[in-house]
Amino acid sequence: MFLKKTVEDVELEGKKVLVRVDFNLPLDPDTGLPTSDSRIKATLPTLEYLILRGAKLILCSHLGRPGGQVVESLRMSKVVPPLSQLLRRKIVLASDCVGEEVRQKAKVMSEGDILLLENLRFHPEEERNDAEFARELARPADVFVNDAFGVSHRSHASVVGVAALLPAVAGFLVQKEVSFITGALENPSHPLALLLGGAKVKDKIGVLENALDKVDLLLLGGGMAQTFLHFQGYKVGGSEVEKDKADFVASIMKKAQRKGIKLLLPQDVVVTRDIRNPDSTKVTEISSMPSDFTIADIGPATVNEFSEELRKCHTIAWNGPMGVYETPQFASGTHALAHLLSQISATTIIGGGSTAEVVEELGLSDKMTWVSTGGGASLMLLEGKKLPGVEVLLDK
């Protein structure tokens, strides 16, 4: 249950509404233009609701990592064409996100008008949650709406600072993200499986600790599985191992066994002599891993075993790829499991970041129950933690 107020709980007609959105769109390195509009589409229900209710929309977002400086290639003007096309409305663009120009443009707005502010991160004060910067952001507005789930784990001025200065509520995207992800672990239909990948155990410590009190099945792939395999006594060749995680791995294995949780690791792997040279690639059982090779993906037998177990589950949460998916020769395991999850009847929650990118690239997003728009934020929720950008909103 979502316990914060949403846009449905406040008066909107004629109000100037500052909406924190996540329009940090991926940009083509050659053309500099957006390659996907999925983050805009994700927030359309909120924006269309605000327009329908007679609000005046002041949208703010960051784009890229300008490091507190004006970077011409990261101006929000890149977002205007897809945003205007999707909303079928004219977008007025401000040359900054604070200041007299913003206040003057906001003053002459009519109901349903949309003002898009310049990149928030052109100002170093944004990421520092500077109080004066937050006041300037909030100054033209009557209400604040957070619909930027992807940055809700950040204590930035546009996320938590302005929320302390205006009546602050959630947009529909934030409401759904929190409800789906927390619901997957707190009130799931069992059996519940957690499929975890990615490069490092250290990145998923909180998730593993939180999940072991809730899941029935834990499947590990990616670089983090190498560390588990190493401490089980398997040789992993030249693969990276987090040797300082021995005690943690041992505790997870013992706790899983004690609680009757089935924990699966790769039984076969795709290996290569050089990650940058995918020509020297073969499949091997983990028990006969060659010493001069490096693990780059889970193997077909592991895909089959994982698939067989996942088909038995009613709820599946997935965070992290199974291998070096950016290289096509090492993406098979990740792609196979993405296709599997798109075909089964279970509730499937895809935990943002690179996992969501894979699902979107394969055209499978609409076949999953929920694909998160925020990697770091979804990870924090899977760890059982609260999001600063949600906690600061008004309680119901």
Catalytic member of 39, 176, 214, 245: 39
Q: Name the residue with tokens 């067989």.
A: 308
The answer for residues whose C-beta is within 8 angstroms of residue 291's C-beta and 6 or more apart is 235, 237, 238
- Per DSSP, the three-state class of 222 is helix
The answer for residues whose C-beta is within 8 angstroms of residue 370's C-beta and 6 or more apart is 176, 177, 180, 181, 348, 349, 350
User: Would you call 15 a catalytic residue per the annotation?
Assistant: no
**Distance from C-alpha of 204 to C-alpha of 279, rounded to nearest angstrom:** 31
Catalytic member of 200, 262, 273, 367: 200
**Distance from C-alpha of 62 to C-alpha of 118, rounded to nearest angstrom:** 8
Cβ 308 vs Cβ 344: under 8 Å:
no
61 is written with which tokens?
């977002």
Name the strands in the sheet holding 268-272, side by side, starting at the edge strand that comes first in the sequence. Answer: 281-285, 268-272, 294-298
Catalytic member of 54, 112, 376, 384: 376
Alpha helices in the chain (DSSP H): 38-52, 80-87, 100-107, 124-127, 131-138, 172-186, 205-211, 222-231, 246-259, 300-310, 332-343, 353-361, 375-382, 388-391
Alpha helices in 93-243 (DSSP H): 100-107, 124-127, 131-138, 172-186, 205-211, 222-231
User: Would you call 374 a catalytic residue per the annotation?
Assistant: no
Q: Name the residue with tokens 């906001």.
A: 106
User: Would you call 276 a catalytic residue per the annotation?
Assistant: no
User: Would you call 200 a catalytic residue per the annotation?
Assistant: yes
> Would you give the DSSP letter of residue 34?
B
Catalytic member of 197, 323, 353, 389: 353
Would you name the residues annotated as active-site residues?
39, 200, 353, 376
